[in-house]
Amino acid sequence: MQKAVASLDRPPHSTGAPDVVDDAAVRAGLTVHLGRTFRRAVAIEGFSRKSSGFSWITYSFVARPVSGPTRKLVLRVGPPNGLFAPYSVMPQVLALQSLTGTRVPVPGLVSFDQGGAEIGFPFFVCEHVEGEVPAPWAGSELDEGHRRDIATQFIAILAELHKLDWREQSLASLHGDGREREEVRAISVWRRSLARPTARYYPLLDWGGRWLAENCPQPPRRTIVHGDYRIGNFLERERKITAILDWELTHLGDPHEDLAWALMPTFNARSRKLYGVVEREEVIELYQRASGISISARSLAFYEAFALYQAAAIQMCAVRAFEVDRFNDMRMAVMASQMPSIVRAFERALEAVA
Amino acid sequence: MSASFERLIDGMVEALQAHVLPGSHDDFARGQIFSVIFALNGLKLAADWKTGPLLEQIRLQDDAFAAVRRLADGMSHPPLPVTRLTGGIVDAATVESLRDEGDRKLGELLLWATGEDARTADRSAASEIEMMLRRLICDQLKVELATTPKLMLQQIAGERVASGAN
């Protein structure tokens, strides 16, 4: 893999980023960027937008340099009107840099630019990995044996991630200034997000956020946390997970957080079993055996409550985008309608922890 | 008209104009889209939220404030609103605004009841207030859930399994 090219030392784009991501402009900027990165002219072919999501925009393309091999690559752009804007590429960049060559499969990083000099927005380029992304709710279309194979790999990879010593990785730069515990800091991020003014205010979220911060358990070990580890955030091919994706929320914290998030029924076709096939007890047993980390029932319950709190905060980002920032994407308006059920589930989850 | 109702209608109209119309090249389908836009603009002029569920939520909030007044007897607590439902309120925007103000007050009371000052003053009463507030807030959420249709998550997300999309 080519060494990643850091561009953080350059000043941000001085003319200001355009409001809407224009695919043709992105392609033109990418051509310039890759020419500079590879130090030779590069033609871009098959450039196409892959995602219609709420956050990072994904493009796939083939880079054909005037000399040297053709490469299938992926570009990810943080749009100015995404749900979590303004974006930083750094968590994803640091994750890909740190995890390449480990037992956690990730796409190789090619280059990145937080300032977005040529494209106008923060972006990074990585290698294309063959595989398919299973939709969390489409699990039943695959046979049980297939899903079980994937689910057990999914647990084993999580264990590998949590076993890594982050102090020896570039991810160590995510370590805070020590004023707040890492896992409490993860809660604070969402509390700040929820504190932003919107039309609706949910008293249980305000109170529950404070409760989570005040009652956050000590982690058994401070580890790298993916932050969005779930069915649907990896590529699989021929019953093998080929890459773990979407590292934008990665941080240091309590490993229970990833486990609780992965077990949310929302990501498992409404089932309490992982991928609809592996019972929770078995998930915990497999994870403990592979990671050497003891799972505490209370910590898991705490992070299940936190998962719902985080889900509510994400929905509120959509509410805010629709109502305050006036993005006319009706999917965001629909997300707002889910708030009552999430908040009620959160209250029940807190009851279970207490 | 309530701001959230107006915003929802505007969002639907804009989404159809900006995202659906440009991709629709069938004359019949375009006629349907324009007709829906026309109907939505009509709703914006003539309709608003049903006040029934909003009034029910306000009644629950007022019950909560009355219960706090009773349970916190002698304790120093945040100011409580007087019963806000009078016979004359019919405008949905006013009712929605009252509901939202009530939610903020409930949050203030819940944070107070679970805070150090209230616990020190009367731990037992503070706990009782906390549990009562949580229960009534959940009852309020149930009113909202009753007016929420089942989510079409799979269809909204696009239904297909993506490939090679790292």
Q: For A297-309, how does the pLDDT look when each residue is reduced to its tens digit (9 = 90+)?
A: 999 999 999 999 9
- For residue A48, the surrounding DSSP H or E stretch is strand A42-49
Question: What CATH number did the domain enclosing A307 receive?
Answer: 3.90.1200.10
Domain that holds residue B120: 51-145
Instruction: Show contacts of A85-90: CB within 8 Å, 24+ apart.
Output: A86/A122, A87/A56, A87/A121, A87/A122, A87/A248, A88/A114, A88/A122, A89/A113, A89/A114, A89/A122, A89/A123, A89/A124, A90/A114, A90/A173
Q: In chain B, which residue's Cα lies nearest the Cα of A327?
A: B11
B7 plus B21 within the same structural domain = yes
B40 plus B81 within the same structural domain = no
Mean pLDDT of A323-328: 80
B123 plus B61 within the same structural domain = yes
Chain A residues with CB-CB distance to B111 below 8 A: 206-207, 210
| Mean pLDDT, rounded, of chain B | 87
A28 plus A119 within the same structural domain = yes
Average the pLDDT over each of A45-54, A186-195, B96-105 and give the range with the smallest value.
Answer: A45-54
> How many domains does chain B fold into?
2
A221 plus A196 within the same structural domain = yes
Q: In chain A, which residue's Cα lies nearest the Cα of B114?
A: A207
Q: In chain A, which residue's Cα lies nearest the Cα of B134?
A: A204
> How many domains does chain A fold into?
2
Chain A residues with CB-CB distance to B19 below 8 A: 328-329
Domain that holds residue A156: 136-353
pTM (2 decimals)? 0.88
Q: How far apart are CA A270 and CA B153, in angstroms?
A: 11
Chain A residues with CB-CB distance to B8 below 8 A: 333
Q: How far apart are CA A270 and CA A276, in angstroms?
A: 8
Mean pLDDT of A192-207: 91
Q: Which two tokens stand for residue A89?
A: 């590429």
CA distance A294 to chain B (A): 32
B72 plus B36 within the same structural domain = no
A166 plus A111 within the same structural domain = no
Any idea how long chain B is?
166
Residue B109 lies in a domain: yes
CB contact under 8 A, A204 and B15: no
Phi, psi of A207 (to 5 degrees): -65, -45
B55 plus B38 within the same structural domain = no
Residue A312 lies in a domain: yes
pLDDT at A20 over 80: no
Q: What is the pLDDT of residues A138-170, one digit of tens each?
A: 556 788 999 999 999 999 999 999 999 998 888
B59 plus B42 within the same structural domain = no
Residue A273 lies in a domain: yes
Q: Using CB atoms, which residue from A133, A207, A330 is nearest to B165?
A: A133
Q: What percent of chain A has pLDDT over 70?
A: 92
Mean pLDDT of A333-339: 83
B37 plus B81 within the same structural domain = no
Residue A34 lies in a domain: yes
CB contact under 8 A, A344 and B164: no
CB contact under 8 A, A347 and B137: yes
